[in-house]
Amino acid sequence: MAGDLFSHSFWEKNNPSLKTDICIVGGGFTAVWTAFFLSKNNSDLTITIIDSMVASRAASTRNAGFLCYGSPSEILADIESMGEENAINLLSQRVKGLELIKQYVPDIEAEITYQGGKEFFPSSLDSLWKNTAPKLDYLNYLIESQTGFRPYSIGNVGESFRRGNCIDIRGEGAVNPAALLHFLNRKIKQRGVQVIDGTKITAFDETLEGVNLQTESGIVYQAKKVLMATNAFTADLIPDLPEIRPARNVVCILKPSVSLDLAACYHTNEGYIYYRKAGDYLLIGGGRNWFKEEEFTSSLEVRQEVVEKLVDFAKSELFHPKFKFETFMSWSGTMGVGSKKSPVFQWVGKKVLIAARLSGMGVALCPLLGRKAAMELAKG
């Protein structure tokens, strides 16, 4: 045979499965939650998910597994940058998303625990504490007006910690994100949703009949409507959008020399550092604030300087000197961020909808965003 050029057969190019009512590009939480609500409420629709990766390696299974809506210092920073109304509305969306997880996902299916959250202020962040603590009543008033509950109160610092201060956060918890994605995929497949992994969409064009989606292999999918749920990578297909940039976030698993007493999910420094127990280990992630410009990348290579800073922060700022830590493993994921934190949710033309830029809060935002996208796509 002359050469190894691959060509598709007549049957492959005319496979009935290439035509679908709704095609969702991307396989993460935005995609599967949209398919979950579409298939739940519209059994007559054919739905196909196409993901370039296997098991959505970008963010959904590579995050730290927090069910959170925002620490006090983070929300104060959001108010400063976005204004009161936008910041509290975004927090409210996260709370509603977490409520949908409670409604539709049994805790046992995704290793969900609701032990509450805490924001810890080490002594080096005493000025941030002094700016945040007096404003808890103000924050609680704003949040209660949108959600019906007051989330923040002064808390106690656990025995594992160095000197500092603490604020309790109601209603937060932890999840195994891979188990959550697996559960949702199992549900949608039971309802007939077709999931195609390892297939990259390289271009699309809207026609009178619908949308043609060109793949890297040359196969063309046809859909009546399309959802682009590609978050950080949306600009690869649609460059003329509000700013969406990929940003790398690092997560580490550390082995402590002595068992840690951590009864909550913790945040520090406007949400840039977060940590919790993962079995007998300490999970700690973030630190993008130390290398902001360098971490605007879609590379999944772990930046060792970030790992070292996180380990040092755990040793010198967070935990009692009796604790020693050994790095067990680390990885990175890709977030979709921009100059604004609010998601991009808009139509491009009449048949392509975009839901992206989750700013590192996809676990909480995606259930609500997916339900909203499902309602839009189901309209005649």
What are the pLDDT digits (tens) for 206-225? 999 999 999 998 899 999 99
pLDDT at 380: 72
Q: What are phi and psi of 225, to 5 degrees?
A: -145, 155
pLDDT attached to residue 53: 82
- Per-residue pLDDT at 3: 45
pLDDT score recorded for residue 1: 39
Which domains are delineated in the chain? 15-62+178-243+340-378 (3.50.50.60), 66-175+245-337 (3.30.9.10)
pLDDT at 243: 86
Q: What is the pLDDT of residue 33?
A: 98
Helix, strand or coil, per DSSP, at residue 165 = strand
Residues of the chain with pLDDT under 70: 1-6, 8, 10-13, 16-17, 55-59
User: Which has the closest alpha carbon to 63: 368, 361, 370?
Assistant: 361
Q: Are 121 and 129 in contact (CB under 8 A)?
A: yes
Q: How far is CA 178 from CA 62, 97, 111, 147, 164, in A?
A: 8, 18, 10, 28, 34
Cα dihedral value 73, 68, 293, 232, nearest 10: -150
Encoded tokens for 221: 């999918």
Helices within 154-223 (DSSP H only): 177-190
Closest by CA position to 374, among listed 47, 27, 93, 89: 47
pLDDT at 269: 98
pLDDT in the model for residue 57? 56
**Please, what sign has the CA dihedral across residues 341, 343, 346, 352?**
positive
